[in-house]
Amino acid sequence: MCGRFSLTTTRIDLARELALPLDAIPAGLAPRWNIAPTQQVVVLRDQDGLRLDLLQWGLVPEWAKDPSIGNRLINARAETLADRPSFKVSFRRHRCLVVADGFYEWVTTKNGKRPYFIHFLDGRTFAFAGLWERWTARGGASLESCTIITTAANDLIADLHHRMPVILPPERHGEWLQPESLTVGRLNELLVPHPAGEMAAYQVSTHVNRPGNDDAECIARVEG
């Protein structure tokens, strides 16, 4: 699964890495070391052109009576996207990329749960495959939200957890984001584990366990 992640890249570097004009990056974007469910996340969408937007993490389907359902829909399993009522419409029409530069996983030990930080060896920014939706309240106010798609773990992450977020390589971003429908078969071909050889993981302190702790200490390596 994916329950916390980081995005500390600056606006200028995001524009460069994603090949976007600076005005397509949300103003006031600050480094985040400990992004948690229900908070705002940076999402790349094709809305008459590529741009980054801030959406709530935890997808609220358009048919939902209560937006609190999003608290339970922070992740979506790749294997069941086309069938689950919560995701099947978004899977066809509202695909997005959730931008990150690392994420966390917890391992249960006899001394409690130990958090690990997972990132690319070269430190680059990357993108999770995601879905987004727009929910409208009775009064007319709207909420845009998203979920992160997960798949089976690669060899690195399998030692920590049996699931991992789908990380799409840059050459697949355009295909995933295109507004036209893709066949379910082709979509499923994209939702595979990222190669483990490009990634690394190390143990961090339990400082990251508290969502209110959002600083560089969250990703500081500890021996264990």
Per-residue pLDDT of the chain (224 residues; tens, 9 = 90+): 799 999 999 999 999 999 999 999 998 899 999 999 999 999 999 988 899 999 999 999 999 999 999 999 999 999 999 899 999 999 988 999 999 999 999 998 888 899 999 999 999 999 999 999 999 988 888 999 999 999 999 999 999 999 999 999 999 999 999 877 788 888 889 999 999 999 999 999 999 999 999 999 999 999 86
- Tokens standing for 148? 């992160």
Query: What pLDDT shows up at residue 224?
Result: 64
pTM of the model as a whole:
0.96
Question: Tokens 């939200």 appear where?
Answer: 145
- The one-character DSSP state at 156 is T
The per-residue b/e assignment along 108-145, b for 16 or more CB within 10 angstroms, e otherwise, is: eeeeeebbbbbbeeeeebbbbbbbbbebeeeeeeeebb
| Catalytic annotation, pick one of 96, 105, 146, 218 | 105
Query: What pLDDT shows up at residue 48?
Result: 81
Active site residue 62: no
Classify residue 13 as exposed, middle or buried by CB count within 10 Å of its CB (0-12, 13-18, 19+).
middle
Query: What pLDDT shows up at residue 187?
Result: 82
Active site residue 105: yes
* DSSP for 18-56, written as a single string: TT--GGGSPTT---EEEE-TTSEEEEEEESSSEEEEEEE
Nearest to 119 by CA among 102, 98, 100: 102
- Tokens standing for 102? 């690392």
Determine contact, residues 188/203, Cβ cutoff 8 Å: no
Alpha carbon distance 34, 181 (integer Å) = 34
Query: What pLDDT shows up at residue 171?
Result: 94
